[in-house]
Amino acid sequence: MATPEIAIAAPDQLEGIKDSYEYGFHDSETDYAFKAKKGLSRQVVEDISSHKDEPQWMRDFRLKALEHFEARPMPKWAGGHMDGIDFQNIHYFVRASEKQGRTWDEVPDDIKNTFDKLGIPEAERKFLAGVGAQYESEVVYHQIREDLEKQGVIFKDMDTGLREHEDLVREYFSTVIPANDNKLAALNSAVWSGGSFVYVPPGVHVEMPLQAYFRINTENMGQFERTLIIADEGSFVHYIEGCTAPTYTTDSLHSAVVEIICKPGSRVRYTTIQNWSHNVYNLVTKRAVAYEGATMEWIDGNLGSKLTMKYPSIYLMGERAHGEILSIAFAGKGQHQDAGGKCVHIAPNTTSTITSKSISKDGGRASYRGLLEVAPGATGSKSKVVCDALLLDEESRSDTYPTIRIGEDDVDVGHEATVSKIGEEQLFYLMSRGLSEEEASGMIVGGFIEPFTRELPMEYAVEMNRLIELQMEGSIG
C-alpha cells in the first residue's frame, strides 16, 4: 500500500472514534448497479447466486450453509464480544459496477479515484505481479502480468475463477474450511462474493507479490470475500491483502474465508495488513494445509477494526512440512484485537513457529489466542510459540489464551510469553539523543514489531511503520 495523497473524513462521523484514521472517506453510491436490501434470508442467498449465474451445486452449497448459520449459536468462547452484531441490519450484496475493468481506465471514475487515493495503481506499476481490487461485494479491477499467465498462473477473482475453472474450484473449495466449520464460516459460505482464486502450476515461482485490495464503501455493509489458493508441487507465491473502509457511526461486518493448499515442496506466504476503520467487525477464518516438505507462512498485521477475531491456522499434513505464523496486533482506543494462530502437527518431523506481538494503548485490548497440537504419530515434531505484549498505559489490557495439546512423546515444544511496558531507561536514553518522548516511544514500538516489518516487502514495511506512527500520535501526555 502506498501513501494516499488525500484523506477526506466527515468530522461528525469521526467524533469519539479516532482522529488518526486517514482512509475514512466514502464515495457516492448513486451509480451503483445493484444494492440488496438489508437483512439475511433464503431469498437474499438465492438472489446472490442468480446475480452471479452460478452452477446449481454452488447454489445448493450456499443454501445448506445458510441452514448451518441459522442453526448455530454465537460461539460462547467469544465472551459476548460479537453480540453487538445485528445480522439483519447488514447489506449482504452490493454491486458497484456492472463489469470488471482490465485497465484502470475501465473502472468507474469514483471507484478509480478511491483506489488512486489508496495508491493501488501506482503500487501495481512499481512492484506487483498482479492486482485485484474489490469494492463492496465484487472485484472491479483485476490484472496479472502476461508472462505469469503464459506460465499457467491463474489469478482471478473468485467469481470468475468459478466460471472459468469450475472443476478446479469444485475439487478444492470448502475442503479446508467446511461450511459448517463455525458460525461465521457458514455465513461466508452462504453469501460469499469476490475474493481471489489463485493457482500456481508445478515448479513455477511467482517472484513478485500478487495483491488483493479490499474496500468497503457502504454504511452497514457486509463484505464476505472468499479466497482459494492452490500452490502445486514445488511452486512459490506471495499473496498480500490490504483493506480499509469509511468511518461511520454504525457498524459494518467483514467476514472472509481463506483456504490455502500447499502441495508437496511448495511455499506460500500470505501477508495481511488489516486497517479497517474502527466501526468494522473483522471476523475471519483462515486455514492452510501443507503437504510433504511444503512451507506455509501467515504474516498477519492487525491495526484497524473495532473487533478482530482471527487465528490463521496451518495443518502440517506431510512429513517435513513447516508452518510459520507471525502475528502483530495494535489495539488502540475502543479496539479489541483478538488474534493469534494455530498449528497442528499431523505428520512426523514437521516444524512450526508462532510469534505473536501485541501493543495496547488508550484502553485498547489485545488478546493472543492460539493452539499448538501434535497428533499421535507426529514424532520428531518441533514447535516454538512466543507471545510478547507491550502495554503503553495503565488503562490498556493484554490477555493470552494458549492451548497446547501434545499426543506424542518424541517432540520438542516451547512456549514463551512476556508482558512489558516501555521502560523509563529506554525513553531516557533515546530522549538524551534529542528525540521527543513521542518519537522515542514510536521508535521503541517500531523496534518491538521489527520481526514483522522485516518480513514485508520494503514498500509495505515503510507504509507499516507510517501506520504505526499514526497510531502512536497523541500517545504522550
Site map for other proteins, 61-80, x if CB under 8 A?
-------x------------
Site map for other proteins, 254-293, x if CB under 8 A?
---------------------------------x-x----
Return the number of the residue (223 or 313) whose C-beta is nearest other proteins: 313
179 binds other proteins per the rule CB under 8 A: yes
Return the number of the residue (344 or 391) whose C-beta is nearest other proteins: 344
Return the number of the residue (26 or 287) whose C-beta is nearest other proteins: 287
Name the 3-class secondary structure at 106.
Answer: helix
Cα separation, 72 vs 75, in Å, equals 8
Q: From the list 97, 137, 174, 196, which residue makes contact with other proteins (rule: CB under 8 A)? A: 174
Q: From the list 176, 187, 284, 296, which residue makes contact with other proteins (rule: CB under 8 A)? A: 176
Return the number of the residue (96 or 177) whose C-beta is nearest other proteins: 177
The least CB distance from residue 197 to other proteins, in Å, is: 18
403 binds other proteins per the rule CB under 8 A: no
- Sole window of 92-100, 179-187, 246-254, 427-435 interacting with other proteins (rule: CB under 8 A): 179-187
Return the number of the residue (375 or 449) whose C-beta is nearest other proteins: 375
Maximal CA-CA distance, the chain: 69
Cα separation, 54 vs 46, in Å, equals 10
Strands (E), 295-427: 295-302, 307-310, 313-316, 322-331, 336-345, 351-360, 365-374, 381-391, 397-406, 411-421
- Sole window of 174-182, 294-302, 382-390, 463-471 interacting with other proteins (rule: CB under 8 A): 174-182
Return the number of the residue (176 or 240) whose C-beta is nearest other proteins: 176
181 binds other proteins per the rule CB under 8 A: yes
Say if residues 313 and 285 touch (Cβ distance below 8 Å): no
375 binds other proteins per the rule CB under 8 A: yes
Q: Phi and psi dihedrals of 442, rounded to 5?
A: -60, -40
177 binds other proteins per the rule CB under 8 A: yes
The least CB distance from residue 373 to other proteins, in Å, is: 10
**331's grid cell:** 489495539
Q: Phi and psi dihedrals of 146, rounded to 5?
A: -60, -40
Cα separation, 445 vs 285, in Å, equals 28
Say if residues 5 and 24 touch (Cβ distance below 8 Å): no
The least CB distance from residue 73 to other proteins, in Å, is: 12
The least CB distance from residue 343 to other proteins, in Å, is: 13
Q: Phi and psi dihedrals of 418, rounded to 5?
A: -135, 150
Cα separation, 103 vs 80, in Å, equals 45
Which amino acid is residue 20, in one-letter code?
A: S
Which amino acid is residue 42, in one-letter code?
A: R
| Number of other residues whose CB lies within 10 A of the CB of residue 346 | 20
Binding residues (CB under 8 A) for other proteins: these are 68, 174-182, 287, 289, 315, 317, 344, 346, 375-376
